[in-house]
Amino acid sequence: MKKQLAVFASGTGTNFDAIARACVDGVLNAEVAVMVCDKPGAAVIGKAARYGIDTFVFSPKDYPSKAAFETEIVRVLDAKKIDLVCLAGYMRIVGETLLGAYEGRIINIHPSLLPSFKGAHAVEDAVAYGVKVYGITIHWVNADLDGGKIIAQRAFEYDGNDPAEVHRLGQKIEHALYVETIAKLIK
C-alpha cells in the first residue's frame, strides 16, 4: 500500500513538484493525496492540477481563527488517511489544532542550517550575516517555530552576497534532499 502524503505550499511549488514527480516516477512508494495551499492564486495550484492532484485551497481571512481553518485541514487530511504531511514552502506557523491531530507526522523543509536563521527570511538573514556555509534542513514540526528535531541537513559553500543565488543553489539541494528524506521516513 502506497503511503499517502499531503504537501502544503504557499508559493511556487518547486518542492511540491519534486515530490509529486518522485511519486509518479516510482522513486517514492507514495502518492500525493492532497496539496494544501493558503494562497489562492499561488503557482503551486496549477502544478497540482497538471498532476491531477486534489487540492484544498483556502484563504485564512475567510475564517474566524487559525483553529477554524486548521479544523478544516484536519478534516481533509483525515478523509485522505494521510500518513505524512510535508510542508514545502508553507509560510504559516502550524497551530495547536493541526499539531494536536498530526504532530509526529509533519515535517518541514527550511532554507538554513538550523538552529541558525529561523523564520521567514532565513536566506536573506544568512546573507546579511555574511556566512560562508549555507544549507538546508528538514525537521519535525512542533510548537517551537523551526525548532523541531532535525531529520536531515545538507550544506553548501557560497562566498558572495546575492540572496537570489543562495536560493538557486539551495533549491537544487532541497528537491533531492526532500525526496530522499521522505523515502527514508516511509520505508
Residue 74: which of 51, 88, 62, 58 has the closest Cα?
A: 58
For the question of residue 167 being annotated catalytic, the response is: no
Binding site for ligand GAR (CB under 6 A): 9, 11-16, 88-89, 109-111, 120, 122, 171, 174
- Please, which residue, 10 or 29, has the CB nearer to ligand GAR? 10
- Please, which residue, 70 or 174, has the CB nearer to ligand GAR? 174
Provide the grid cell at 41.
492564486
Kindly state the smallest distance separating residue 76's Cβ from ligand GAR, in Å: 20
Kindly state the smallest distance separating residue 64's Cβ from ligand GAR, in Å: 25
Do residues 95 and 74 make contact, with C-beta atoms less than 8 angstroms apart? no
Phi-psi group of 39: left, alpha or beta (phi > 0 → left; psi -120 to 50 → alpha; rest → beta): beta
Residue nearest to ligand GAR (CB): 89
Residue 1: which of 37, 31, 35 has the closest Cα?
A: 31
Range list of H helices, the chain: 14-24, 43-51, 66-79, 96-102, 122-129, 163-185
Q: What span, in angstroms and rounded, lies between the C-alpha atoms of 90 and 62?
A: 18
Kindly state the smallest distance separating residue 21's Cβ from ligand GAR, in Å: 12
- Please, which residue, 71 or 140, has the CB nearer to ligand GAR? 140
Kindly state the smallest distance separating residue 129's Cβ from ligand GAR, in Å: 16
| DSSP string over 126-176 | HHHHT-SEEEEEEEE--SSTT-SPEEEEEEEE--S--HHHHHHHHHHHHHH
Among residues 110, 121, 139, 167, the one annotated as catalytic is 110
- Please, which residue, 14 or 181, has the CB nearer to ligand GAR? 14
Q: Which residues are catalytic?
A: 110
